[in-house]
Amino acid sequence: MRICSKTIFLVFALCLSACQTDDTPQTEEQPPESQAGDLLLLTGTNRVGMIEGFNVSNPSATRDSMDVRWAEAKRSGMTVGRLQLDWSELETAPGNYDQIGLQGLLEDFNGQGLQPFLLVSAYDSDGPTVPADLEGVRFNDERVISRFKSLLDWVVPLLVENGGWAISISNEPDNSFGEIPTLPGDIKSFTGAIRDHVHTIAPKMAVTVTFAEGNLASHEDEIVAVLAECDIACWNFYGSFLDVENLTYASKSVEEIRSSLQAVLGLSSTKKHIIQELGMHIGLDSSEEIKRLFYQTFFEQMQAERQLGAAFAFQLVDWSPETLALYTASFDTESFPPGLLDAFTESLATIGLLDQGNGQARPAWNEVTHWIARFR
């Protein structure tokens, strides 16, 4: 499922600039020996988390329910969290960074006893998220690579300080692989260079790129090539697929869920795998029971597969009508086949473990918290 993960966090800007001159000849950066793929920074055995969602506001009853359920998940044993921002949100102008905004988010998670997995998208599901002055520059260009390294020079130490254990540097760039033939090679070069740089800062920090499981059929070779440059594999994994013939989303059967997961794990049997977005809607041809069964089936497999290092439910509460309207306002609706946009928005409007309208917990909520407690 193609889901844009642009954050709607509101953060304050702190402008910093730095410049350095050095006439000493520079040697090529050599990363230290790294065991980042072993997830050595991730402690404990309970590695099931979730994100709250992207709504700027929710009804008061829903907000109260979210607070109660979040606390319930932590009591059940949830010890991991996930944060996401775009590069352009952190670097508001060349060399000007919003450090305070990210620091506050990380410290909040740390204070809750949640080890953060951080997504800083340089390339997101619908295109680049670079600062304005780098728009149109290819990702294998040294200007892009150098600037992102400078960003991570302060992001990575802050992440380590607050218990972070992995960072993804792009989200679903594979959505664009068929449209931009040079993009897979560019993302591969970018990923390798950034991974090596991160290891000079924190050798145990795992670096990855997040792929969409639904793109495997059409872009497996390109995904495998980029995956080779990652310490761990990272995926967005859903319980439905796009039914092209009927222009809607069709639910996967239990066997299809298991088969899809095995296909993902089979791409790299030597790497740990993280599920950044684990989600399923109701409606369309789905139901409350199908949604619950999706989570049950996945977590049964996770219990049996040592490769699966962590998974994050997507998400605690549905997208609100206001958030959906804001998101789809930029779409070229004329390019959508009739009915497909409606199906897409309906899937997001029912993606949560809680109903956005009244905050009521769905059966899938009990399934997820059951497994959080069981993994503990």
In whole angstroms, what is the distance from residue 209 CA to residue 12 CA?
27
Q: Which residue has the tokens 């979210």?
A: 66
| pTM exceeds 0.85 | yes
Statement: residue 306 has pLDDT above 60: yes
Statement: residue 11 has pLDDT above 80: no
Q: What is the pLDDT of residue 333?
A: 78
Q: What is the pLDDT of residue 162?
A: 98
Region 38-48: mean pLDDT is 89
* CA neighbor of 6 nearest in space, from 88, 83, 58, 84: 84
In whole angstroms, what is the distance from residue 349 CA to residue 87 CA?
27
Statement: residue 44 has pLDDT above 80: no
Name the average pLDDT for the chain.
Answer: 90
Answer for the pair 297, 237: CB distance below 8 angstroms, yes or no.
no
Q: What is the pLDDT of residue 17?
A: 31
Region 117-132: mean pLDDT is 96
> Domains (ranges, CATH) in the chain?
36-375 (3.20.20.80)
Which residues are within 8 A (CB) of 40 and not within 5 positions of it... i.e. 6 or more apart?
204
Q: pLDDT band for 138, please (50, 70, 90 cuts).
A: very high
Q: What is the pLDDT of residue 20?
A: 34
Q: How many residues does the chain have?
A: 376
Q: What is the pLDDT of residue 3?
A: 39
Write the DSSP symbol of residue 361: B
Q: By mean pLDDT, which of 7-11, 151-155, 281-285 is the weakest?
A: 7-11
Statement: residue 330 has pLDDT above 90: no
Statement: residue 193 has pLDDT above 50: yes
In whole angstroms, what is the distance from residue 97 CA to residue 152 CA?
11
